[in-house]
Amino acid sequence: MGTFAQLGNDLYTGKRSIDIIGRRKTWYLIAVILIAISIIGPFLRGGFVFGIEFTGGSQFQVSKVENRDESIATNAVASVVPGQTPRVLLVGTDSLWVQTEQLTDEETAQVKTALAKGFDVPEEAITSSFIGASWGQDITRQAIIALIVFILFAAVVMTLYFRTWKMSVAAIISLFHDLIITAGIYGITGFEITPAAMIGFLTILGYSLYDTVVVFDKIRENTVKGELNEVRTFAESVNLAVNQTLVRSVNTSIVALLPIGSILFIGAFVLGAGTLRDISLALFIGVLLGAYSTIFVAAPVYAHIRSGEPQIIKHDEKVRARREAQKALETEEDSETSSGAIKA
Amino acid sequence: MAKSAPVKKAWRYLAWLLVVIVALVGLNALGVLRGEGSWTPKLALDLEGGTQIVLAPVLQDGEQVTSEQLAQAVSIIRQRVDASGVSESEITTQGNQNIVVSIPGTPDKATLQRIQASSQMQARPVLLASAAATAGTSATDASGNPISTETPAPGDSPDAPALSDTPTTAPTGPGDVAWITPALQDEFDKYTCSAGATGEPDPKKPLVVCDTSQTEKYILGPQEIAGSSITDAVAQQETTQTGATTGSWAVQITLDGEGTKKFTDLSKRLFGSQPPLNRFAFVLDGAVITAPSMNGLITDGRPSITGGFTQESAKALADQLKFGALPIGFEVQSNETVSATLGTSQLQSGLLAGLIGLILVVLYSLVQYRLLGLVTVASLVIAAIVTYLLITLMSWQQGYRLSLAGVAGLIVAIGITADSFIVYFERIRDELRDGRGIESAVQHGWKRALRTILASDGINFLAAAILFVLAVGNVRGFAFTLGLTTLVDVLVVVLFTHPILTLLASTKFYGEGHRFSGLDPRQLGAVYRGRAQFKAPAQDAKGKQAKSSREAARRQTIAERKAAAQAEAGNTADNVSAKSRKES
């Protein structure tokens, strides 16, 4: 802890400082490349893989199976509906799911019997479901409506809270950054998009902005009138705020990722396919991205869009003029001033 | 020693927290005692096992389902499911148009058919009415209201005179008793109301049917007016001709143009006819919901039904008339069955994941914040207790069911809740770095942290609320727990974390910044004075002296401490001024 807390101290006082705002072109470049890959990648791979909830179809859940041989399922389905190749998913330690195109009631009953015979389980151990294709469309439509409404509301709330729309814009740019890249990762890797994954995406909305608000609150504090002094330029004040909240950002991300990681682990390795895995995967990616983008996208963008304001330009000029005057000290940044003070 | 103001306030907040928890426990205990609640939350289908059917309306292009229609459809479908003998079913709406039916076990085909059938309300003339065989003879109208002036008194609906010989001449209109063939009469005589509804009646044929309370049975002529002609039905107080209210309730119906014309004809024919031919019935879902008699000529398309209504019963009938029909057909959009064993294993895994996550968070907090991490752990435990009680209470009061997605929401919330503490602790550390004493650092850090916590939680809650309102299915369960835990987070941070820290700051261990307290000013390098200026590092320049003066400071009053702090600032001011001289 000592070293981490020490780092926290140094970042707080400005003794050590990571120049984030100054290197904004680097971060922009990275963001643009990532977003480009996220948009082009899925197309190269062949589009997104949608779960049965979006494509529609029938699903059989077979539990308490000893021999989970996929070919048994394939044969059972083929014996009823020739030419159908089902998708077989292993779930948990003793279950498997068999997904087919939508079957008639009669076919469903026959497949059930065939599966029960094939896997040597009683028919009660098999449950069947069917999902219409419009189910997924409905969810998607509602999700998109929710997304738009949320962004509008959040933009207004943040504008009122921070008393500048520029913070809203920066936060929402970073939000889109997170959403596009998360979707891109799904598209590129071929992870299945299920309603549970959609829930994960939507939560990223909240989390990404949540994280941004915490950091922006510090930025606001450092750049209000009276705080914005002649030692630092505006961009440097923003940078200091990001540095001061860096320890918190790291701690928060880790604390958020630990439980999500444990669901992901349990979901993926114990349960196999299913709600838990899908939610946690989207969240895991989203939280990582959310923390990253707050620091490397939202803050630089905010400093950038404010840099054109006459007041800021004037202020920055003043700071630079002051620095020119104290060239003797050869201090470009007050961070170094402070380290000097500590050595004294 | 007199307690300082923040300490007193801290105790008061903790007392409030206790009140909240005791109130929640008490409410829940009340629910358990009354046999309605339980100490564990109800589980959704994916955890408990069962069948979930999602019904989507079949709509023409551009058609919209209103939320009122949907709510009515839910209540109609609920009646149908209940009628089919399935217990513990749950019918809810999803999004703005879908209906979700959750049933334990697997429903048979007949139940499915029954659930999704559409229905129309029909107004038909009464040809014959008699007390139902299975019920007493007390005369009430179909919705169970005693009848006063406008519906027949007990004697007015006697067993019909023998009509078995009526020739089967072609009926001249819907109200023609010629519809009653001997066969129909026979069916009527044998008819018992327990038979229940038999599908959607053909509007062009006569109908043998009971009322919803199963006290009266009828032979009705073919449909005269379709239920869709009713544009509005409201419960209102009866008025006399002078406009004064009489205090009794009536249901005022408004018909559209075509309905008005038909009703005028109906009114002319029925008014003055012999009972029961002066009556007409509204039929819905194979039962008569009301069968008033015509007491006057009504030509303006605004009939009103009166007689012994209370405000509630009038409103109930008005709603039934207005939305009673399920004019929209529904189709099964998805039909998912989860076996109970799979549900249980999912729940266990979910809880296991939560436990692992919680332990990891605890370990990390202890490493990062030393014993201050214990405050995190205690806060999380309190948050967990409050959340659990709220969810249990909600599942009793609101019928909330915890789904797997909800469990995931709770687990994710651990991180977001813990973040509030991290934000707060980091603020306190910032204040310590600024050179404040621990007690004042806690108070100042709190003021600034609270703003941040409220703002960020506000955004999170906004996301949860919007998802809850707009999203469908599983997303709602998730959004619900996320929103709930966000509120609990604020509650716990205000009523527990901050008061506890205030109290701890007044203890020796934390107040002096013990090495393991996580609030050690030396470790935090309390060298930072003001926000742009720096003083000489206390630990280098003073060392022992600083420690003893801190010990002294702890025994001082706030005012003395402030003075001392100022004096100390004065000591280091040389450094600062030296620096600023160099700078300028």
Give tens-digit pLDDT for B238-255: 777 676 777 778 888 888
- Closest residue in B to A198 (Cα) is B475
Q: Which residues pair with B281 in a beta bridge?
A: B124
Spatial separation of the C-alpha atoms in residues B507 and B522, rounded to whole Å: 18
In this prediction, residues B335-349 reach a mean pLDDT of 75
Are A92 and A273 spatial neighbours (Cβ–Cβ below 8 Å)?
no
Given an 8 Å threshold on Cβ–Cβ distance, is B333 in contact with A134? yes
In this prediction, residues B414-420 reach a mean pLDDT of 82
Cβ neighbours of A331 in B, within 8 Å:
583
pLDDT digits (tens, 9 = 90+) for A234-243: 888 888 888 8
Given an 8 Å threshold on Cβ–Cβ distance, is A338 in contact with B534? yes
pLDDT score, position B20? 92
Supply B187's token pair: 């069916």
- Give the list of residues 6+ apart from residue B545 with CB closer than 8 angstroms, or none: none
- Sheet-wide strand order for B230-239: B230-239, B245-255, B304-309
In this prediction, residues A21-28 reach a mean pLDDT of 87
Spatial separation of the C-alpha atoms in residues A269 and A324, rounded to whole Å: 61
Select the residue of A4, A211, A263 nearest B411 (Cβ to Cβ).
A263
Interface test with A, best of B97, B112, B113, B334 (most A CBs within 10 A): B334
| Maximum CA extent, chain A | 90
Give helix then strand counts, H and E, for chain A.
14, 6
pLDDT score, position A341? 45
- The lowest-confidence range among A185-199, A269-283, A284-298 is A269-283
Given an 8 Å threshold on Cβ–Cβ distance, is B415 in contact with A256? yes
Name the band, by pLDDT with cuts 50, 70 and 90, for residue B443: confident
Phi and psi at residue B216, in whole multiples of 5°? -140, 140
Cβ atoms within 10 A of the Cβ of B26, count? 10
- Closest residue in A to B475 (Cα) is A199
In this prediction, residues A121-138 reach a mean pLDDT of 74
Angle among Cα B340, B344, B348 to the nearest 5 degrees reads 175
Half-sphere exposure of A35 (CA within 13 A, CB side): 16
Given an 8 Å threshold on Cβ–Cβ distance, is A6 in contact with B523? yes
- Alpha carbon distances (Å) from A57 to A54, A131, B305: 9, 6, 50
Specify whether the backbone of A234 is left (phi greater than 0), alpha (psi in -120 to 50) or beta: alpha
Cβ neighbours of A213 in B, within 8 Å:
452, 455-456, 459
Cβ neighbours of A6 in B, within 8 Å:
523, 525
Centroid of chain to Cα A73: 36
- Determine the distance in angstroms separating the CA of A284 from the nearest CA of chain B, rounded to an integer: 10
Name the band, by pLDDT with cuts 50, 70 and 90, for residue B565: low
pLDDT score, position A272? 67
pLDDT score, position A33? 94
Element housing B225 (H / E): strand B225-226
In this prediction, residues A8-36 reach a mean pLDDT of 83
Given an 8 Å threshold on Cβ–Cβ distance, is B334 in contact with A130? yes
Given an 8 Å threshold on Cβ–Cβ distance, is A13 in contact with B433? yes
pLDDT score, position A270? 73
B52 vs B424, higher pLDDT: B424
Indicate whether B150 pLDDT > 70.
no
B389 vs A316, higher pLDDT: B389
In this prediction, residues B439-465 reach a mean pLDDT of 86
pLDDT score, position B521? 61
Phi and psi at residue A221, in whole multiples of 5°? -60, -40
Given an 8 Å threshold on Cβ–Cβ distance, is B353 in contact with A256? no
- Give the list of residues 6+ apart from residue B494 with CB closer than 8 angstroms, or none: B13, B450
Work out the mean pLDDT of chain B and round it to a whole number: 72
Spatial separation of the C-alpha atoms in residues A202 and A192, rounded to whole Å: 16
Given an 8 Å threshold on Cβ–Cβ distance, is A143 in contact with B426? no
pLDDT score, position A37? 92
Supply B577's token pair: 């001024």
Given an 8 Å threshold on Cβ–Cβ distance, is B462 in contact with A157? yes
pLDDT score, position A177? 92
Q: DSSP secondary-structure letter at A48?
A: P
Cβ neighbours of B108 in A, within 8 Å:
none
pLDDT score, position B403? 81
- Alpha carbon distances (Å) from B104 to B88, B319, B405, B474, B536: 7, 30, 19, 18, 71
Select the residue of B341, B474, B536 nearest A199 (Cβ to Cβ).
B474
- Alpha carbon distances (Å) from A25 to A19, A31, A48, B292: 12, 10, 31, 80
- Determine the distance in angstroms separating the CA of A118 from the nearest CA of chain B, rounded to an integer: 19
Spatial separation of the C-alpha atoms in residues A284 and A279, rounded to whole Å: 9
Given an 8 Å threshold on Cβ–Cβ distance, is B466 in contact with A149? yes
pLDDT score, position B541? 37
Q: pTM of the entire structure?
A: 0.66
Spatial separation of the C-alpha atoms in residues B120 and B115, rounded to whole Å: 15
In this prediction, residues A136-149 reach a mean pLDDT of 78
Element housing B344 (H / E): helix B340-369
pLDDT digits (tens, 9 = 90+) for A242-263: 888 888 888 888 888 888 888 8
Cβ neighbours of A130 in B, within 8 Å:
334-336
In this prediction, residues B123-128 reach a mean pLDDT of 82
pLDDT score, position B95? 63
Name the band, by pLDDT with cuts 50, 70 and 90, for residue B438: confident
- Give the list of residues 6+ apart from residue B93 with CB closer than 8 angstroms, or none: B67, B70, B71, B74, B99, B100
In this prediction, residues B507-528 reach a mean pLDDT of 61
Pairing of strands A57-62, A95-100: antiparallel
Pairing of strands B98-103, B90-94: antiparallel
Select the residue of A64, A205, A262 nearest B353 (Cβ to Cβ).
A262
Spatial separation of the C-alpha atoms in residues B91 and A151, rounded to whole Å: 31
Cβ neighbours of B417 in A, within 8 Å:
none
Select the residue of B339, B350, B460 nearest A276 (Cβ to Cβ).
B350
Name the band, by pLDDT with cuts 50, 70 and 90, for residue B164: very low
What ipTM was reported for this prediction?
0.78
pLDDT score, position B323? 61
The SS3 of residue B144 is coil
Indicate whether B488 pLDDT > 90.
yes
For B258-278, b/e burial (b = at least 16 CB within 10 A) is ebbebbbebbebbeeeebbbb
Supply A315's token pair: 């202020």
- Alpha carbon distances (Å) from A97 to A61, A100, A117, A128: 5, 10, 16, 10
Supply B499's token pair: 């008061």
Given an 8 Å threshold on Cβ–Cβ distance, is B334 in contact with A1? no
B337 vs B546, higher pLDDT: B337
Select the residue of A63, A134, A270 nearest B341 (Cβ to Cβ).
A63
- Closest residue in A to B483 (Cα) is A206
Name the band, by pLDDT with cuts 50, 70 and 90, for residue B530: very low
pLDDT score, position A28? 92
Cβ neighbours of B527 in A, within 8 Å:
13, 342
pLDDT score, position B533? 39
pLDDT score, position B140? 40
- Determine the distance in angstroms separating the CA of B559 from the nearest CA of chain A, rounded to an integer: 26
Share of chain A above pLDDT 90, in %: 8
Interface test with B, best of A61, A255, A288 (most B CBs within 10 A): A255
- Closest to B327 in 3D by CA, of B235, B228, B242: B228
Angle among Cα B415, B420, B422 to the nearest 5 degrees reads 85
Q: Which residues pair with B230 in a beta bridge?
A: B255
Indicate whether B152 pLDDT > 60.
no
Centroid of chain to Cα B226: 34
Work out the mean pLDDT of chain A and round it to a whole number: 80
Indicate whether A61 pLDDT > 60.
yes
Given an 8 Å threshold on Cβ–Cβ distance, is B463 in contact with A209? yes
In this prediction, residues A331-343 reach a mean pLDDT of 48
Most confident of the ranges A85-89, A227-231, B379-383, B468-472: B379-383
Given an 8 Å threshold on Cβ–Cβ distance, is B333 in contact with A218? no
Given an 8 Å threshold on Cβ–Cβ distance, is B459 in contact with A209? yes
Given an 8 Å threshold on Cβ–Cβ distance, is A263 in contact with B350? yes
Half-sphere exposure of A138 (CA within 13 A, CB side): 24
For A117-144, b/e burial (b = at least 16 CB within 10 A) is ebbebeeebbbbbbbbbbbbebbbebbe
Spatial separation of the C-alpha atoms in residues B538 and B86, rounded to whole Å: 75
Given an 8 Å threshold on Cβ–Cβ distance, is B460 in contact with A210? yes
Select the residue of B345, B430, B462 nearest A153 (Cβ to Cβ).
B462
Given an 8 Å threshold on Cβ–Cβ distance, is B467 in contact with A150? yes
Are A65 and A96 spatial neighbours (Cβ–Cβ below 8 Å)?
yes
Cβ neighbours of B342 in A, within 8 Å:
61, 63, 91-92, 95, 127
- Give the list of residues 6+ apart from residue B367 with CB closer than 8 angstroms, or none: A1, B373
Given an 8 Å threshold on Cβ–Cβ distance, is A142 in contact with B460? no
Cβ neighbours of A259 in B, within 8 Å:
353-354, 356-358, 360-361, 411-412, 414-415
Given an 8 Å threshold on Cβ–Cβ distance, is B456 in contact with A202? no
Residue A251 class from Cβ within 10 Å (0-12 exposed, 13-18 middle, 19+ buried)? buried
- Sheet-wide strand order for A95-100: A87-91, A95-100, A57-62, A126-131, B329-338, B50-58, B98-103, B90-94
Select the residue of B364, B451, B458 nearest A258 (Cβ to Cβ).
B364
The SS3 of residue B580 is helix
- Closest residue in A to B415 (Cα) is A256
In this prediction, residues B123-142 reach a mean pLDDT of 61
pLDDT digits (tens, 9 = 90+) for B208-224: 888 777 778 888 888 88
Supply B434's token pair: 């600024």
Cβ neighbours of B474 in A, within 8 Å:
195-196, 199, 275
Select the residue of A92, A127, A209 nearest B345 (Cβ to Cβ).
A92
Q: At what angle do helices B438-470 and B5-33 cross, to 10 degrees?
A: 30
Work out the end-to-end distance of chain B between its first and last CA atoms, rounded to an integer number of angstroms.
49
Given an 8 Å threshold on Cβ–Cβ distance, is B334 in contact with A131? yes
Spatial separation of the C-alpha atoms in residues B476 and B478, rounded to whole Å: 5
Spatial separation of the C-alpha atoms in residues B541 and B150, rounded to whole Å: 100
